[in-house]
Structure 1
Amino acid sequence: MVKAKKYIVQKQFDGLPKSTDLTIVEEELPPVTDGEFLAEAVYLSVDPYMRAMSDSVPIGETFLGTQVAEITQSKNSDYPVGKHTVAPFGWRTHTLSTGGPFPIGLPKAWIIPDPEGLPLSFYLGVLGMTGNTAYFGFLEICKPKPGETVVVSGAAGAVGSIVGQIAKIKGCKVIGIAGSEEKGKWLVNDLNFDNFINYKDPKFKEKLEELTPKGVDCYFDNVGGQISSEVLHRMNKHGRISVCGSISTYNDKEVKGGYAEMGGFGVTLLVLAGVVQSDIVSKQLKMEGFMVYQWWDRWMEGIEQNKKWIKEGKLKCSETVTKGFENTLKAFVDMLQGGNTGKAIVQI
């Protein structure tokens, strides 16, 4: 018999998650039956959407999340022993599964193709949901044109750092918004962003105006709130806004201005405040939220293209790795507070 460790919900989050909200318990798994496989977690993902969707996890249930796992036993020919799979098994070390479909998010567990020398952890980031969120969410909604000005909020995070690089590949001027000078230097010096603005700068509005003399054509929004409202004021006529998330509001009980994202997985159910509606109307803006899995039928397209750009040296990846299953909640809270550069993951 295999014993699994898992995080279960003790109490719904109230503001920033606390150590008492989740607890680690052991579970003895039954033998593998026909159609099932047993997977052992190798890497766990911690992402902003988990905070937005945390209230959907009942008390006593395993906390949500995606992982890369090695298949160690199998009675399902679609999931052979020795292969690695990406699946939303949640924060747990071992899982019995048929491969899906799952209640929310990922339609089914998918097998990682030949990684071609790249780290397996990339399949939780640039070569997985994160990379496809950037690839499809930016290209399909913003439809950038060479020479256009693109602004990316949460630019030093997992999705934003990829979006900005894709925008540069497409010939755009790219301005990243992040929360420290160190992150800003990384965006400009390492990832080839044209400019950076620290959202904590009291002169944020003035700097945004200075760096966008011709206005903003495309905005990829990861943060929501007042910062995003300021960017919308700078949008050009027929500008496009792709709303991926609103991390600035995830730990708030009430919307304080601008707009807030109320879903997850790049989902947006928008609650608009009056400060942005006039811009949307007068500038005839296109503002769209999305579910990354709406492009499930093209899933490998995004992965293969991002892999190609990595091998060509056009797309760089950064990970913030926390080691140890018992440190998963800490990694999650650190990520929500901006402690990560690039993709935040946990190595089991």
Structure 2
Amino acid sequence: MSDTVNRQILLIEKPTGKLGLEHFKMVNGSIPEPKDGEALVRTRYISLDAANRAWMHGATYRAAVEANTVMAGGSIAEVIASKAPSLAPGDLVFGDTGWQDYAAVPAKHLNKMPKMEPMTHLLSVYGIAGLTAYFGLLHVGRPKEGETVVVSAAAGSVGSIVGQIAKIKGCNVIGIAGGKEKCKWLTSELGFDAAVDYKDGATFKALRAAAPKGIDVYFDNVGGEILEACLALMNNRGRIACCGAISQYDGVPSAHGPRGVPGLLVVKRLVMQGFIVMDFMDQSATALADLQSWVASGKLKVQEDVIEGIENTPKALIGLLAGENRGKRMVRV
């Protein structure tokens, strides 16, 4: 990484279909000067998330990413210079730096992070992925011991942690993932009770066989047809935690599914709730204490997928959307 050049990856065109390498361009920019209240940070690890793709469609819980701007994204970064009393050179922070070597960011938009090895854990199990899994499952899904919990995109950064926390809480856990290898990994390495390969095409049948007593909690990362299949198998007073809709993000959003929702919600008295992790940040200390103790005791295994080089960030995001990753994907700048 040069000390005089700021490599930046721009989104040069908003995709109308699937995201491709042609939608990005790497340029050399200048290193910004921090203004009062800002810190100059150097990006260390860029977080890759399906939500990166959703931001290109339009405003979500953040402003849309516009064409010909630095691609937005969160990262772990190191403070190089600070014009804010709360931050000093050498501090580690998490914030929306975008896909670039250096960024000047208001200190109020940066979260100071503890120094730890490996630093990557600050983006995975102790970062947005781990906290999303923790709060979405425990505060929205509210599983009880002995209940059946199903999680989609179960081999991904959030899903792989959701399933393991559900096991720690004494639940029967079924993961839905793409491909035999991922399914085998969930049951043999992460301790899931069963795994369903949605690429087999008979998702509903396989789910019904894996969950003969029905589903009490469904943690939804994908939406679409898989949500529809799970809805039909929900038990009375079941809870659905809606975390994302990966199936709708890349390419032309499908109009499909889930059908029959209002009737099922009423008849089965289901609770279906969307959430974002920012809603729970005032309780993050408790969550982190739990996550750290589970990792230390070996109950929670951390899987990370680290790609080398900022120039590979577009390809890494495209791969993530295609389901290439196992665990949390990030780019070491």
Q: Which of the five TM-score ranges fits, normalised by the shorter chain?
A: over 0.9
Equivalent residues in 2 for 1:123-202 (5 A)?
Answer: 123-202=122-201
Deviations 1:260-299 (A, max 9, x none): xxxxxxxxxxxxxx33332112111000001210112122
Equivalent residues in 2 for 1:234-313 (5 A)?
Answer: 234-259=233-258, 274-313=259-298
Offset at residue 175 of structure 1 (A): 0.2
Which residue number in structure 1 is paired with residue 29 of structure 2?
Answer: 27
Which residue number in structure 2 is paired with residue 50 of structure 1?
Answer: 52
Offset at residue 2 of structure 1 (A): 4.2
With over 3 angstroms needed to count, the CA separation of the structure-2 counterparts of 1:143 and 1:30, relative to structure 1, is closer
How many correspondences in the alignment? 325
How many Å separate the matches in 2 of 1:49 and 1:202? 25
Whether contact under 8 Å (1:14, 1:251) holds in the other structure is no
How many Å separate the matches in 2 of 1:94 and 1:150? 42
How many Å separate the matches in 2 of 1:150 and 1:183? 18
Residue 93 in structure 1 maps to residue 101 in structure 2: yes
How many Å separate the matches in 1 of 2:32 and 2:291? 39
Whether contact under 8 Å (1:233, 1:276) holds in the other structure is no
Identity of aligned residues (%): 40
How many Å separate the matches in 2 of 1:252 and 1:29? 34
Which residue number in structure 1 is paired with residue 74 of structure 2?
Answer: 66
Offset at residue 169 of structure 1 (A): 0.6
Which is worse superposed, 320-329 or 27-36?
27-36
Residue 336 in structure 1 maps to residue 307 in structure 2: no
Deviations 1:284-335 (A, max 9, x none): 1000001210112122332232112101111111111110000000000000
Query: Which amino acid is the alignment partner of residue 304 of structure 1?
Result: A
Query: Which amino acid is the alignment partner of residue 87 of structure 1?
Result: G
SS at structure 2 position matched to 1:146: coil
How many Å separate the matches in 2 of 1:84 and 1:324? 20
Deviations 1:54-92 (A, max 9, x none): 231112221111001111222323111112111111111
Whether contact under 8 Å (2:155, 2:186) holds in the other structure is yes
Offset at residue 30 of structure 1 (A): 4.1
Offset at residue 99 of structure 1 (A): 1.8
Deviations 1:166-223 (A, max 9, x none): 0001100000000011111111111110000100113322221111111100000001
Whether contact under 8 Å (1:2, 1:30) holds in the other structure is no
Whether contact under 8 Å (2:19, 2:251) holds in the other structure is no
SS at structure 2 position matched to 1:20: helix
Structure 1: state its 5+ residue gaps: 101-107, 260-273
Which is worse superposed, 324-333 or 242-251?
242-251
Deviations 1:34-59 (A, max 9, x none): 43321111100110011111231112
Question: Root-mean-square deviation (CA), in Å?
Answer: 1.5
Which residue number in structure 2 is paired with residue 7 of structure 1?
Answer: 9
Which residue number in structure 2 is paired with residue 80 of structure 1?
Answer: 88
Whether contact under 8 Å (2:220, 2:243) holds in the other structure is yes
How many Å separate the matches in 2 of 1:230 and 1:316? 29
How many Å separate the matches in 2 of 1:277 and 1:180? 32
Whether contact under 8 Å (2:32, 2:102) holds in the other structure is no
Whether contact under 8 Å (1:222, 1:244) holds in the other structure is yes
Structure 2: state its 5+ residue gaps: 58-63
With over 3 angstroms needed to count, the CA separation of the structure-2 counterparts of 1:194 and 1:28, relative to structure 1, is same
With over 3 angstroms needed to count, the CA separation of the structure-2 counterparts of 1:61 and 1:293, relative to structure 1, is same
Equivalent residues in 2 for 1:204-219 (5 A)?
Answer: 204-219=203-218
Offset at residue 255 of structure 1 (A): 2.9
Which residue number in structure 1 is paired with residue 60 of structure 2?
Answer: none
Residue 318 in structure 1 maps to residue 320 in structure 2: no
Whether contact under 8 Å (1:66, 1:124) holds in the other structure is no
SS at structure 2 position matched to 1:200: helix
Query: Which amino acid is the alignment partner of residue 95 of structure 2?
Result: A
How many Å separate the matches in 1 of 2:209 and 2:169? 23
